[in-house]
Amino acid sequence: MPDNKRFTAVILLITLSLIWGTSFILIKQGLKVFSPDEVGALRVAAAFIFMLPIALQRLKELKSTDYGKLFFSGMLAVFIPAFLFAIAQTHLNSSLAGILNTLSPIWTMIIGAALFSQRFRGWAIFGSAISFGGCIVLAMARADGGLGAFNSYALLIVLACACYGLNLNFLKFKVPSLPPMTIISVSLMLIAPLAYIYLFGFTEFTFKMANTEGAWRAFGFVIILALMSTAVANLLFYKLLRISSPLFASSVTYVMPLVSVMWGVIDGEILLVGHFIGMALILGGVYLANRKKSETKA
C-alpha cells in the first residue's frame, strides 16, 4: 500500500473506532425506553432519511443486477446487526458488546477462506481459535473470577460479526466497481421499507413517543446512533475497504473495544477479571490472525 493511502487508511481506522466504539452506549441509552426491535428498526429508518438525497442521485449509476446485491449488503451490514446488537444488549452491558464485536476480523478471514478462495497460514487459524476461546471466557465470566453459565446472548453478537465478515468479502469480491457513497446510500434505501413497516406497523413506538417519559431523550440517542454509527461510519468504512484489504478494514475492532469500555465505565459498568481475560484472548487472537498476510489461490 502506498504511503499516502496507508496514512489515509490509518486515519479512517481511528475515526471509525471512535464512532463505532460509542455506538454500544448509545444503544444502551435507547433501550431504556424502547424495546430492542424498536431500537433496531428506528436506527435503520433514521439512517435512511440522512442518506436518501444521496441515494436518489446515485441510482443512475446502477445496473439492474446491482439492486439485489445492494439489498443483500444492506441486510448484512445494517439491518440484521442493528436488531442483533439491540437484543443482545438487553442481557449484556455495552462494554462487553464492544469487546465481543472484535470477532469481526476473524469472521472476515473464515468466510474469505470458505467462500472466496482466500488461503491463510497457520497463525491465522491459531489466532481464530484463541479469539473464539476468548469469546467463551467472556460470555461465562462471573463476579468471583470463575466461570459460570454461558450467556447465550453473546452468540447474537457473534452472529452479527459473521454478517459483517460476509458483507466485507461480498463487497470486495462481488461488488468491486461501485463507489462507497452509492453502496451505503442505495443499500439503506432498499432495506428501509422493511424497517418502516415493522416500526410503525408492529411495535408500540408511536405510543411510547407520545406517552412515555424520557422517550424523546432515548429517541435522540438512537438518532445520533443512526447518523454517526450507521450512515457516516459505513460510508467511511467502505472508503477504507476500497484502499485496503477486507482484513485490514475489519481491524477497526482493535481500538473500538477500548472506546466502548471507556463509555461503559463512565456509565457505571463494572468489568471483572474474567472479562479482561476474555478481551485479552480475543484481541490476542485477532493480532495473531493478522501476523501473516493471506494468500489468494490462483
Dump pLDDT digits (tens) for 126-176: 888 898 888 888 888 765 555 667 889 999 999 999 999 999 899 988 888
- Give the whole-angstrom CA distance, residue 221 versus residue 31: 10
* Average pLDDT of every residue of the chain: 87
Give the per-residue pLDDT at 65: 92
Q: What is the pLDDT of residues 196-219, one digit of tens each?
A: 999 999 999 999 999 999 999 999
Give the per-residue pLDDT at 287: 80
Higher pLDDT, 109 or 187: 187
DSSP-assigned beta bridge partners for residue 296: 118
Q: What is the pLDDT of residues 87-126, one digit of tens each?
A: 999 999 999 898 888 888 888 888 988 888 777 777 778 8
Higher pLDDT, 106 or 296: 106
pLDDT at 30 over 60: yes
Give the per-residue pLDDT at 119: 75
The domain spans of the chain are: 3-296
Q: What is the pLDDT of residues 216-240, one digit of tens each?
A: 999 999 999 999 988 888 788 878 8
> What pTM value is reported for the model?
0.87
Higher pLDDT, 251 or 184: 184
pLDDT at 292 over 70: no
